[in-house]
């Protein structure tokens, strides 16, 4: 599916570039300055062309929108930019758009690689069902798992777990912005975001780097119990600056270095 999306992206660049060069001829400034095709081509390649991940993000907003015009509210593109995407995706038989704006995905396999956004209520319901508990928004997030593991907060590493409702909000934002499935990196995870994220979308893979062995062990226990795709590594990022691999996204805790 990755190869299919890469090919689709290259097709879109050709499609988008051709329409851009055609439409730009009539724009104010282009016409008066008599800019030639070579200059416009260079401008497109340097300023207008979307990256692969930007392309996937735009597709994601279209295929998961209740109404296709919601796309405009989520993006900096106007209705003309939306038209380019809809024209292309319909041409490639990826989607079909009904008169009321509802999007029908024709290539269902694309949904397997692009994570679906979830509302806070959806995330809450899934957690309550899988953990068999009642979410209490103002309580610390570690209380969600205290029946399974006993994590102790350690002040020497400035651990201060957020509330359950805040953790759900963070997971919601990750799912909104993650352009495709892949390895997601968490630098420090005393909020157990990796566990919540993979509980609500088990197809997502997480890598957690932390210096706290007890935290990593707690995450391993939860990962094993719920069959989650979480890899843990004991890493001191004050000493190791490069993990030597690529990730689709990351979340890092905020910390303050004490200068002597």
DSSP annotation of 106: S
Q: Above 50 in pLDDT, residue 259? A: no
Cα separation, 15 vs 175, in Å, equals: 29
Cα separation, 84 vs 20, in Å, equals: 9
The model carries a pTM of: 0.85
62 vs 260 pLDDT, higher one: 62
The residues, any chain, with a CB within 8 Å of residue 43's CB and separated by 6 or more, are: none
Specify the pLDDT at position 207: 96
Half-sphere exposure for 219 (CA within 13 Å, toward CB): 29
The residues, any chain, with a CB within 8 Å of residue 241's CB and separated by 6 or more, are: none
Given 84, 112, 140, the domain boundary residue is 112
Cα separation, 162 vs 141, in Å, equals: 6
Partners of 56 in the β-ladder: none
Q: Above 60 in pLDDT, residue 200? A: yes
**Inside any domain, residue 257:** no
Residue 22: how many CB atoms within 10 A of its CB? 10
151 vs 202 pLDDT, higher one: 202
* pLDDT tier, 48 (very low <50, low <70, confident <90, very high otherwise): confident
Alpha helices in 97-233 (DSSP H): 120-131, 164-177, 193-200, 213-226
φ and ψ at residue 234, rounded to 5 degrees: -85, 110
Asked if 179 contacts 60 with a C-beta cutoff of 8 angstroms, the reply is yes
Q: Which domain holds residue 27?
A: 2-112
Tokens of 209: 């780097």
149 in the same domain as 64:
no
207 in the same domain as 104:
no
Longest CA pairwise span in the chain (Å):
71
Specify the pLDDT at position 255: 46
Q: Above 70 in pLDDT, residue 157? A: no
151 vs 167 pLDDT, higher one: 167
**Inside any domain, residue 260:** no
Asked if 134 contacts 165 with a C-beta cutoff of 8 angstroms, the reply is no
Q: Above 60 in pLDDT, residue 12? A: yes
Angle between helices 164-177 and 120-131 (to 10 degrees): 120
Specify the pLDDT at position 27: 67
Specify the pLDDT at position 260: 37
234 vs 156 pLDDT, higher one: 234
239 in the same domain as 129:
yes
Q: What is the CATH number of the domain that holds 178?
A: 3.40.50.150
Cα separation, 222 vs 82, in Å, equals: 42
146 in the same domain as 104:
no
Asked if 159 contacts 212 with a C-beta cutoff of 8 angstroms, the reply is yes
Mean pLDDT of the region 187-215 = 93
* Sign of the alpha-carbon torsion through 37, 38, 39, 43: positive
Mean pLDDT of the region 120-138 = 93
* pLDDT tier, 33 (very low <50, low <70, confident <90, very high otherwise): low
Domain count, the chain: 2
Q: Above 70 in pLDDT, residue 152? A: yes
201 in the same domain as 105:
no
* pLDDT tier, 257 (very low <50, low <70, confident <90, very high otherwise): very low
State the chain's mean pLDDT as an integer: 86
Query: Which is nearest to 209 in space by CA: 196, 221, 222, 194?
Result: 194
Q: Above 70 in pLDDT, residue 76? A: no
**Inside any domain, residue 77:** yes
Mean pLDDT of the region 169-195 = 93
140 in the same domain as 70:
no
Mean pLDDT of the region 203-224 = 92
């Amino acid at each position: 599916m990755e190869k299919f999306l890469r090919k689709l992206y290259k097709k879109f660049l050709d499609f988008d570039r051709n329409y851009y060069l055609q439409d730009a001829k009539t724009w104010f400034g282009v016409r008066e300055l008599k800019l030639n095709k070579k200059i416009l081509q260079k401008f497109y390649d340097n300023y207008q062309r979307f990256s692969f991940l930007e392309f996937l993000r735009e597709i994601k907003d279209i295929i998961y929108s209740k109404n296709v015009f919601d796309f405009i509210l989520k993006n900096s593109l106007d209705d003309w930019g939306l038209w380019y995407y809809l024209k292309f995706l319909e041409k490639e038989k990826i989607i079909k758009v009904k008169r009321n704006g509802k999007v029908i995905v024709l290539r269902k396999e694309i949904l397997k690689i692009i994570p679906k956004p979830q509302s806070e209520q959806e995330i809450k319901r899934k957690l309550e069902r899988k953990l068999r508990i009642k979410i209490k928004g103002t309580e610390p997030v570690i209380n969600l798992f205290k029946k399974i593991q006993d994590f102790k907060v350690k002040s020497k590493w400035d651990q201060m777990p957020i509330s359950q409702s805040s953790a759900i909000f963070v997971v919601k934002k990750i799912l909104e912005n993650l352009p495709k499935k892949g390895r997601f990196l968490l630098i420090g995870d005393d909020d157990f975001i990796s566990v919540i994220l993979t509980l609500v979308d088990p197809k997502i893979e997480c890598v957690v780097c932390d210096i706290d062995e007890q935290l990593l062990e707690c995450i391993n226990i939860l990962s094993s119990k719920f069959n989650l795709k979480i890899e843990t590594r004991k890493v001191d990022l004050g000493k190791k600056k490069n993990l030597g691999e690529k990730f689709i996204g990351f979340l890092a805790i905020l910390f303050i270095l004490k200068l002597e």
